[in-house]
Structure 1
Amino acid sequence: MGRAAIIRMRKKRVNRSFYGSLSLFVLLAVMGGFMALPLLYAINNAFKPLDEIFLFPPRFFVRNPTMDNFSDLFNLVSGSWVPFTRYIFNTLFITGLGVVGHVLLASAAAYPLAKHRFPAKKAMFGIVVLALMFTSQVTAVPNYIIMSWLGFVDTYWAVIIPAFAFPLGLYLMKQFMEQIPDALLEAAKIDGASEYRIFWTVVMPNVRPAWYTLIILLFQMLWGTNGNGFIYSEQLKTLNFALGQIIQGGIARAGVGAAVALMLMSVPITLFVFFQSRIIETMATSGMKD
């Protein structure tokens, strides 16, 4: 590397003083602490006795922490005529199958949209973009009609199949796959790799940030679903529905409701914390260019 190139690199280097770095750190710390306040409040509420929950003005931090809210919740779920483990299994089955199925289908559909030419390609992608404008409330009636026609009402599939068609996942995978250099795929074809092998061994490893992000989004959506409107049998109800029924017992169950809220939010947050490091580690592969 020549002397002129080294001088140019030094000029481009960001020159930030110690106080500038300290100010930026303090600003980010304050913003991070502010965004963590709802989570801290939910954690404190879960351990508050009833007299502190209804105290006015409310206190942010718990003064006399107790486990009574969780013990009351355990007693309530133990008295259910449907085993509580059944609700957990239903939620895990719907969430797991929905997430895995959507990641695979979205990736398989995004690959030809991103790396192949065929008639009506732009029109198909335009339909995907248009589908992003519609919320789940808008598509609830068409989804029910389709699920009823397929005979999936009051089954797991009434919730899983619509999750397969999550348009944001297809859009995200397509955008990430477009960043993969065409020269990389052409080199694999020259080596004799088939389209399926290119997809599994070249494309999918390079779009890891996209499908990690999809896992987080789909898990959060399916973990919080209650299946209302599609599932009627008590044996097929989800954990969110069961816990929601428990806390509808009036103000006496306000503490139990706080414990339920903490339990429901803890699993998606744990998943996000786990996959966040994976996304950062693999983000370098998303910036490849020809």
Structure 2
Amino acid sequence: MRIVLRFGKKKVNRSWYGDMALFLVLAAIGYFMVLPLVFVINNAFKPINEILMFPPRFFVRNPTLGNFVELFHLLTGTWVPMTRYLFNTLFIAVIGTAGHVLIASLAAYPLAKRKFPGRNVLFTIVMLSLMFSATVTQVTNYMTMSWLGLLDTLWAVIIPAIGSSLGLYLMKQFMEGVPDALLEAAEIDGCSEFRIFWSIVMPNVKPAWLTLIIFSFQSLWGAGGASGSMYIYSEQLKTIDYALGQILAGGIVRTGPSMASTLIMISVPITIFIFSQSKIIQTMSASGMKD
């Protein structure tokens, strides 16, 4: 509702001023949120003398690609090819993300749209599991992977990610918004349970599983660092994140390549987020579907 006040011959639209004030506040918040990303980009192109300058400069004065060239030479100098590290990282991120989305969706469907004994107890356990951080469950995951004989394999990182409870909770909450009338109509038409799930439920919760893809991929993209080192010992199975960390541990002389590697590592998740940000906004809003 717009309220218009009259002062003499001048009309003051309070709604317009409110919109402008809100825009300025959001613009200021967005400006401060983007500053770290701008700083990382500038550092990646700074020569070593600008990186070590005190007080530090926010923007690069003499941009150079030397940091990326030096990083490339360091990676090609390892006895395991850089492409192998990259393949391991992509394999973990892609397979882990796909498995997590599929398993979480299949498990969330009966919890959200079907009634059976113990349903509430199972969902309560899922919610309680969200209280525990990854550090708490590392010992349990290690013992489980050891019992399954999967230590020192890529599956030791992928399987715990597939079984994460975050995706199950997200998908279950969003599937509850799908009208039961749609499912009942499909059952009358003779659709099987899997057909209802795949052709009706999943398209209606597309924003939810796209958001889950982003979160899962971002988590697994850097999973080869400290967490992945617990399960993987062979050098040929390490990820690009681990390889960069080992190469750049050479001290201050490798500060430039370190800045370049930081930009490379964050560029992939940011790119995926940029192309899917509208779906995240849809997930945070109401679906609009009513019975």
Q: Is the 8 A contact 1:72 1:256 kept in 2?
A: yes
- Contact 2:75–2:82 at 8 Å: present in 1 too? yes
- Describe the shift of the 1:103–1:27 C-alpha distance in structure 2 as closer, same or farther (beyond 3 A): same
Aligned to 2:274: 273
- Name the % identity: 64
1:282: Cα distance to partner? 7.8
- CA distance 1:82–1:143, shift in 2 (3 Å): same
Q: What are the Cα deviations for residues 18-47 of structure 1, in whole angstroms up to 9, with x where unaligned?
A: 333222222211111110000000001111
> Which whole-Å CA distance do the structure 1 matches of 2:283 and 2:31 have between them?
27
- Which digits, 9 at most, give the CA deviation of each residue in 1:151-176, with x for residues without a partner? 00000110000011111100000000
Structure 2 residues not aligned, in runs of 5+: 4-12
1:258 pairs with 2:256: no
Q: Provide the C-alpha distance between the structure 2 equivalents of 1:247 and 1:35, rounded to a whole number of angstroms.
A: 27
Indicate the SS of the match to 1:287.
coil
Within-5 A mapping of 1:1-290: 17-226=15-224, 227-280=228-281, 286-290=287-291
Alpha-carbon distance between aligned partners in 1 of 2:156 and 2:270, rounded to the nearest angstrom: 26
Instruction: Identify if the C-alpha distance between structure 1 residues 198 and 259 changes in structure 2 by more than 3 Å, giving closer, same or farther.
Output: same
Q: Return the alpha-carbon distance in structure 2 between the equivalents of residues 42 and 118 of structure 1.
A: 51
Instruction: Provide the C-alpha distance between the structure 2 equivalents of 1:36 and 1:83, rounded to a whole number of angstroms.
Output: 34
Q: Distance in 2 between matches of 1:50 and 1:11?
A: 56
Question: Residues 144 and 281 from structure 1, CA distance in 2 versus in 1: closer, same or farther, beyond 3 angstroms?
Answer: closer
Contact 1:87–1:235 (CA under 8 A) maintained in structure 2: yes
Counterpart contact for 1:207–1:285, Cα < 8 Å: no
Against the structure 1 CA distance between its residues 16 and 150, is the aligned structure 2 distance closer, same or farther, given a 3 Å change threshold? Answer: farther
Corresponding position of 1:3: none
Q: How many residues align?
A: 279
CA contact (8 A) 2:2 2:15 kept: no
Q: Taking structure 1 as reference, are residues 73 and 57 closer, same or farther at Cα in structure 2, changes over 3 Å only?
A: same
Inter-CA distance 101–16: structure 2 relative to 1 (3 Å threshold): farther
Separation in 2 of the partners of 1:214 and 1:94? 16
Q: Tell me, yes or no, if the aligned pair for 1:94 and 1:222 is still in contact at 8 Å.
A: yes
> Contact conserved, 2:232 with 2:238, CA < 8 A, in 1?
yes
Measured in 2, the distance between the counterparts of 1:286 and 1:97 equals: 29
Residues in 2 aligned to 1:32 and 1:234: alpha-carbon distance in whole angstroms: 41
Q: What CA distance in whole angstroms lies between the structure 2 residues aligned with 1:254 and 1:187?
A: 62
Which letter does structure 2 place at the counterpart of 1:256?
Answer: P
Task: Label 1:93 to 1:132 Cα distance change in 2 as closer, same or farther (>3 A).
Answer: same
> How far apart, in 2, do the equivalents of 1:201 and 1:149 lie?
38
Aligned mates of 2:135, 2:112 — CA distance in 1: 30
Q: Secondary structure at the match of 1:261?
A: helix
State which drifts further: 115-124 or 272-281.
Answer: 272-281
TM (norm. structure 1) is 0.92
- Distance in 1 of aligned mates of 2:93 and 2:50: 35
In the alignment, the residues of structure 2 paired with residue 205 and residue 24 of structure 1 have an alpha-carbon distance, to the nearest angstrom, of 34
